[in-house]
Amino acid sequence: MSDDRPILLVANALPPLVGGTPMVYDRLARACAPRLHVLTAWRDADEGKPIAGWRESDAGKSYPIHRIAWLRPPRIEAFRRRIGLLDLLLVDLPVMLYVLLRVLFLATRIRASAIVVGELQGLGWLAILLGLFSPWRIILYTHGEEVVQKTYNRLARLRGPALRAADHVITVSSFTRDRLMSDFGVAPERIDLVTPGVDLDRFQPGTVGSDDKPFVLAVGRLIERKGFDRLIEAFALIAGDFPEVDLVIAGKGPEEQRLRALAAASPAAPRIRFRGAVDDATLVGLYGACTLFAMPNRTLPDGDTEGFGLIFLEANACGKAVIGGRAGGATDAVVDGVTGLLVDGDDPASIAAALRRLLSDPDARVAMEQAGLARARTLGWDATARRFLEAVR
C-alpha cells in the first residue's frame, strides 16, 4: 500500500479539554487533515462525566474525529475504595478490553497504516497489546510530564514495557528525548524529535489590542509548575523601578485562588491584574499589546515539568521577547540570550533580574524580539506535520 494511507491517533487530550497537549493534537490533526484520524473519548475519565461541549467542538473540526465512551478506566475513587482490588476486575479490565476492540475495529475500517498512541502513562497498556497482537506499526507520542513525573497510579509501571513494545517514539523536546534514553533505555535511533508548531496565521506581530499602561504578560493554565507565584514575587521586587509597568496574568486553573491571594498581599497589588480565561482573539490582542512575555516554569519535587512550552513560540511569533524557566522542554522553546532569557524559575531574584534587564534595555529587548520572530517563522505547523508524517513512516 502507498504511504498516504490514514493514520490513527488515539488520545484522551483533545478539545474542548484545555491545555497544551489538547491544543498540540488538535493543531497537528488540522495540519495533517484528512489523513490523520483521531480517536478520543466523550467522557472525562478523571470525573466520570461527559465532557462539556464536545459535540459543538467536534462539529467544527477539519479532520476526522471519532469518540467512544472511555479511553482509559475512570478514576471514580469513592467507588474504587469501596470495592478494593476488585476494581481491577470490575472496572479496569472491562474498559481496557472495550478500548482495545474499538481501536482494532476503527484501525481496520479506515485501513490505517499506523496507530499513534498519544498518552504514555494512561494508554501505555494499549501500546503493549497492540504491539503484541496487531499488524500495525505502533508509535508512542510523548510530551514531558508523563515521562519524568514520579507520582502516578499503577499504570505508570507500564511506561517502560510500553516504550519497549512500540516500534517508534515521537517526543516534543530534547529534554524529554534525553530522559527517555537515560531513564527508560530507549535507543536514540528509535526516537524522533518533533517539536510542536506555532500557528503563524494566527500569531503575528502587531498591536491587535490596546491597554492603558505597558505590561508584562503571563499566560497559561494556573498550575504550580508554570511559576506564576514566583513571577508575582519577582514583580514586587522591580515594580518600584518601573512604575509605569503592570503585570497581567491570563488563564484559569486550580492555583487561581492562591495566586490572587498572593497578588493581593503584594506591595505591587494595584498593578497586578488577572484576566481569567481568554478567547483566541483576546489572547492575540494581549500578545500584541504587551511589552514582553514571562512564564518562569520550574520542575516540581515529584518531577512534574514543562514538556516543551509552545506558548513561548506564540509570543515570539507576535514579535515579543520572552522569559522562561530553565527547566524541562522550555530550554528548547527559548534560546537563552537570543529569543529571550532563561531563569531559575524557583528564584524570584533571578526572575526579577531578567525582568529588569528587558524592561530597562530596549535595544536588547528589540534584538530578542527580532530573533524570536525569525525563529518562530521557521516552526509553523506545516513543517511540524511533515516531520510527524516522516517519523510515522
Burial class (CB in 10 A: 0-12, 13-18, 19+), 209: middle
pLDDT at 250 > cutoff 70: yes
Query: Is 77 a residue whose pLDDT tops 50?
Result: no
Mean pLDDT value across residues 329-350: 97
Does residue 80 surpass a pLDDT of 90?
Answer: no
* Confidence bin at 207 (pLDDT 50/70/90): low
pTM: 0.85
Compute the distance between CA of residue 106 and CA of residue 261 in angstroms, rounded to an integer.
49
**Of 11, 230, 226, nearest in space to 103 by CA:** 11
279 grid coordinates: 478567547
Q: Which domains, from first to last, does the chain contain?
A: 7-197+380-392 (3.40.50.2000), 215-376 (3.40.50.2000)
| Predicted pLDDT at 85 | 55
Q: Would you state the pLDDT for residue 280? A: 86
pLDDT above 70 as % of the chain: 92
CA distance 390 to 311: 25
Alpha-carbon Rg for the chain in angstroms = 22
Measuring CA to CA, which residue among 169, 100, 170 is closest to residue 133? 100
State the maximum Cα–Cα separation within the chain, in Å, rounded to a whole number. 66
Confidence of residue 76 (pLDDT cuts 50, 70, 90): low
pLDDT computed for residue 159 by the predictor: 92
pLDDT in tens, 26-54: 999 999 999 999 999 999 887 888 999 99
**298-324 per-position pLDDT tens digit:** 999 888 888 889 999 999 999 999 999
pLDDT of residue 112: 97
Q: pLDDT at residue 383 above 60?
A: yes
In terms of DSSP bridges, do strands 49-50 and 43-44 run parallel, antiparallel, or are they unpaired?
antiparallel
Q: What is the pLDDT of residue 92?
A: 82
**What is the average pLDDT score of the chain?**
91
Higher pLDDT, 156 or 244: 244
- Dist CA 71 CA 166 (whole Å): 18
Q: Residue 8: which of 166, 138, 165, 194 has the closest Cα?
A: 138
How many residues comprise the chain? Answer: 393
The pLDDT value given to residue 346: 96
How large a percentage of the chain has pLDDT more than 90? 79
Q: What is the mean pLDDT of residues 70-87?
A: 61
Going from the C-alpha of 286 to that of each of 79, 314, 315, the distances in angstroms are 44, 11, 10
Per-residue model confidence as pLDDT tens digits over 231-241: 999 999 999 99
Helices 310-317 and 20-32 pack at an angle, to 10 degrees, of 70
pLDDT in tens, 135-162: 999 999 998 888 887 755 566 788 999 9
Which of 75-89, 147-161, 327-341 comes out lowest in average pLDDT?
75-89
Q: At what angle do helices 362-376 and 310-317 cross, to 10 degrees?
A: 110
Contact 346, 298 (CB under 8 A): yes
How many other CB atoms are found less than 10 A from the CB of residue 378?
Answer: 9
Rounded to 5°, the CA angle 353-356-362 comes to 135
Per-residue pLDDT at 272:
98
Per residue in 213-232, pLDDT (tens digit) is 899 999 999 999 999 999 99
pLDDT (mean) for 248-259: 96
Q: How many CA atoms lie within 13 A of 126 on its CB side?
A: 33
